[in-house]
Amino acid sequence: MVGTAPGADPNIFPLDTPVLIPGDRTLAAQLGKMGTLPWVMEAIFDQTDPLIVMVRVQDAEAATDDSTETATETDGNTEAGGACR
């Protein structure tokens, strides 16, 4: 899973690095409250206790010079202007 979590502890969830969350809601809670990853994790853990490999990426709005690149890397199917490939 790839998503954003600007409030995450960077020592536990470094940017652009796969991290294993072995069915541990406590570990997932350290992602903070903002971004896409915290609410997705909460929804997943409400249903099951899976093994999740996640990659935290920089929030496109927080990026200073790579915001278009970050959005493209996260989605992978959108060109500039929103056109699908």
Q: What is the pLDDT of residues 2-20, one digit of tens each?
A: 999 999 999 999 999 999 9
Token duo for residue 10: 């960077």
**CA-to-CA distance for 1 and 57, rounded, in angstroms?**
10
**Residue with token string 């409250």:** 33
**Residue with token string 């541990």:** 24
**CA-to-CA distance for 68 and 80, rounded, in angstroms?**
8
Is pLDDT above 60 for 69? no
Number of other CB atoms surrounding residue 35 within 10 Å: 19
Domain hosting 45: range is: 2-82
Is pLDDT above 70 for 47? yes
Residue 20 confidence (pLDDT): 96
| Number of domains comprising the chain | 1
**CA-to-CA distance for 85 and 66, rounded, in angstroms?**
20
**CA-to-CA distance for 23 and 15, rounded, in angstroms?**
21
Q: What does pTM read for this prediction?
A: 0.68
